[in-house]
Amino acid sequence: MITHDQLLPSLYQIQRQRRIGEITICALNLQILETLAASPTLCRAFRGHSFRPFADHYAEMIAAMPPRNIVVVAVPDQLHYEVIMTALRHDQHVLAVKPLVLQHSQAVEIAGEAHRRGLAIGIDYHKRFDDRSLMARRDYRQGLFGEFRLGSACLLEKWYYRHSNFQNWMTLENSDAFTYIGCHYVDLVHFITGLLPTAVSVYGIPDTFPNGREGYLWTDARVIWSNGACLNVQNALGFPDAAPGGNTQGLVMYSKGGDTGGLVFHSDQYRGLKYCYVSGAYTEPSPDYFQYVDIGGGGLTPVGYGYRSVERIIANCIKVEEAGSLEARQRMLKQIDDEGIVATPANSSYNELVVEAGRASILSGGRLVEIQYP
Ligand SMILES: NC(=O)c1ccc[n+]([C@@H]2O[C@H](COP(=O)([O-])OP(=O)(O)OC[C@H]3O[C@@H](n4cnc5c(N)ncnc54)[C@H](O)[C@@H]3O)[C@@H](O)[C@H]2O)c1
């Protein structure tokens, strides 16, 4: 899904700019790749662009790549670790979808291996590249909102997600709605405020996928932060299919400064557009995440923070590669980590601590689990 909706079109655009070369894609079977290659959206936007399909084991594909190219990891959450480590061991830079991995120790290991080899890793927390997130971060860090105290966030995907491949992997033992999608807003609160999460409790409601497997399809999480602030995060595969927009999502943060209050209110789903098509369909599309527009030059151009996030991560990989010697690449990696704009294993592994604490909590009925920083 994410390969079709965001990653591949972004990579095609960067290829169109002649900043990357050939693309090979590996999946479990050729049929998935044929469907992807024949996507009417991609064919219309990127005439003349294609990828080489590969349906054998991903490790073979990575082993055959010349060193210091880029591996993009977009497999189910519980497989990220092994694919990323395989890529690093073959000296490849990495773009990984979120959540990077499911255990903090794995994030630390990945950070160490990447540093040792002078390889860039960027995690696609694409909400960071929504201009509103960057505005809130800029203003928060100037003190304009005071100090975050209490907030709520939600991200509920459409009901029809239950009928997709999610039913094969987002099951009770692997993941849950909070782990899958709640991490975006936990990451964003850190990105805006610089605060760190210190305790998590997640109450999950098991529900049945169409194939009969069970998943925590509804979750309610409470995240406590290093200054005592509290964020409530609700997630589900439960937003009605008939409701407008691709999902519902948003963030509200109340804060205090001196004797007055501050507020950040982001409606991340309703962005001011109401479209009613003559087919009878009504929708409230987001112009901000990922759209194709005709700005001339043939085909369509992807725009939005989904594209910008991929572009920044690939740009970092290229920048690190061009730095040259191992020492120069390591200096560049440190600079990227310290800058804190692109999420890296070294600067965002609090997300893995939250995932681990969240899983421990959900499996024990929602008890509060404290986060121990190593
Ligand atoms: N908003 C977001 O940031 C966002 C949105 C969607 C998905 N994601 C993340 O992207 C990842 C993939 O999600 P998706 O929705 O695209 O899932 P998906 O099920 O549509 O795609 C997963 C792909 O992985 C491939 N795959 C699985 N096991 C493999 C293996 N062993 N070797 C090679 N290929 C393998 C499958 O063939 C499939 O094409 C997940 O980690 C998910 O959390 C992030």
pLDDT one-digit tens code per residue, 58-90: 999 999 999 999 999 999 988 999 999 999 999
Q: Which pLDDT score is estimated for 87?
A: 98
List, for residues 17-63, the tens digit of each pLDDT value.
Answer: 999 999 999 999 999 999 999 999 999 999 999 999 999 999 999 99
Q: Which pLDDT score is estimated for 109?
A: 98
Q: Which pLDDT score is estimated for 374?
A: 82
Instruction: Please give the distance of CA 260 from its chain centroid, rounded to a whole number.
Output: 34
Closest atom of ligand 1 to 29 CA is 37
Residue to mutate (ligand 1; options 56, 75, 348; most atoms within 8 A of CB):
75
C-alpha of residue 33 to centroid of ligand 1, in Å: 13
CA–CA dist 240, 157 (Å, integer):
9
Predicted structure pTM score: 0.95
CA–CA dist 86, 73 (Å, integer):
11
C-alpha of residue 29 to centroid of ligand 1, in Å: 13
Residue to mutate (ligand 1; options 97, 102, 158, 247; most atoms within 8 A of CB):
97
CA nearest ligand 1 atom 20, residue: 1
CA nearest ligand 1 atom 7, residue: 2
Residue 328: CB within 6 Å of ligand 1? no
Closest atom of ligand 1 to 124 CA is 3
Q: Which pLDDT score is estimated for 222?
A: 98
Q: Which pLDDT score is estimated for 96?
A: 98
Q: At 320, is the secondary structure helix, strand, or coil?
A: helix
Residues of the chain with pLDDT under 70: none
Judging by DSSP bridges, how do beta strands 52-54 and 247-257 pair with one another?
unpaired
Residue 98: CB within 6 Å of ligand 1? yes
Q: Which pLDDT score is estimated for 77?
A: 87
Judging by DSSP bridges, how do beta strands 230-239 and 147-158 pair with one another?
parallel
